Amino acid sequence: MLGVDFSPMTEPWDQRNLVLGTLYHFFIVYWLAIVGFILPVVLVLTFQWHILLLYGIWYLYDRNSPKRGGYTSEWVQGWTVHKWFANYFPVRLHKTAELSPSHNYIVACHPHGIISMAVFANFATYGTDKNEK
């Protein structure tokens, strides 16, 4: 249907979970990005601009939070859906040296593409068990 080959019903549940993890990340990356662009326009057109004003004030107040560590959630990063996502491709993190947490580092990933799913799986989640390495 529409050029999409759906997996057969006899596919093992492990394989189905990998697809579910990928669909979850597709939704998070693409659909929430679309909502992030459309929602401000809708708020302005429906005369709800005061919500955008409150968000702008919060943005200015909290703009340095990434430098302080932001709002990481160990619970969300450890969800099983992230492991399914990382195992779908398969994405692996290869640790070759000990890194001091007191320094800043530049991380490179190649090939990266437009939206790098490998970087997301390795560094934004615990899908590749980065917390155990």
- The count of residues in the chain is 133
Exposure letters 30-60 (e unless 16+ CB within 10 A, then b): eeeeeeeeeeeeebeeeeeeeeeeeeeeeee
The residue assigned the tokens 């409150």 is 54
3-state secondary structure (DSSP) of residue 73: coil
DSSP string, 21-64: HHHHHHIIIIIHHHHHHHHHHHHHHTT-HHHHHHHHHHHHHTTT
Provide the residue type at 128 as one letter.
T
Residue 114 pLDDT = 64
pLDDT for 106 beyond 80: yes
Q: What confidence tens digit (pLDDT) does each residue in 39-96 have?
A: 999 999 998 999 999 999 999 999 888 788 788 888 988 899 999 998 888 788 888 8
Where in the chain are the domains?
13-132
